[in-house]
Amino acid sequence: MLSFQSRTAGKTKAIKERQIENHLRLYKTYLTAIRNCEQQLEYIMPSLVSRYEINVDGGESFWIVNNTEKVALDRIESKRALDLREEIEKYKIIVKSIDNAIGDLAEGEKHFITVRYFECKAMSVVASALGYAEEKSVYRIRRHVLDKLSISLNSLLILK
């Protein structure tokens, strides 16, 4: 019979694995979230804009308008802008951590992650894509990959 500590350790490991798998499945969504947050931030804190104008008297004018300066008086690093910056950084950390962790894997393991998590395919499809006749082999690859990623992505588990 398994001891209480063994059962608890097993449950903890399973929870960590689910969290890592969830991060892997959401990888493309994190990339989209970064782009969307950056767009929102640009709206909140616009950049410099140049203007050219022909005056009524025939004169011409060219100047640079600092929309950020105008808007900043109303929205100086508003709470929303700060939240967006924090969210962007969090997603960038997650994406970069996944990229780093996957970069250390063998090609077959990378292919497994791409098909299983990034493309969200069933294990039977993964087995076929990797050229295995039975799913049992793919589950061994999954176990091996998750063991490696549980070490290299352990710090992601504290990010909410």
* In the predicted structure, residue 119 carries a pLDDT above the cut 90: yes
* pTM of the entire predicted model: 0.72
84-89 mean pLDDT: 92
Q: What is the pLDDT of residue 133?
A: 85
Q: What is the pLDDT of residue 75?
A: 54
Confidence of residue 96 (pLDDT cuts 50, 70, 90): very high
Q: What is the pLDDT of residue 79?
A: 79
Give domain limits for the chain.
19-158
* In the predicted structure, residue 25 carries a pLDDT above the cut 90: yes
48-67 mean pLDDT: 60
91-102 mean pLDDT: 95
Rounded Cα gap, residues 125 and 48, in angstroms: 50
Q: What is the pLDDT of residue 124?
A: 92
Q: What is the 3-state secondary structure (H, E, C) of 19-67?
A: HHHHHHHCHHHHHHHHHHHHHHHHHHCCCEEEEEEECCCCCEEEEEEEH
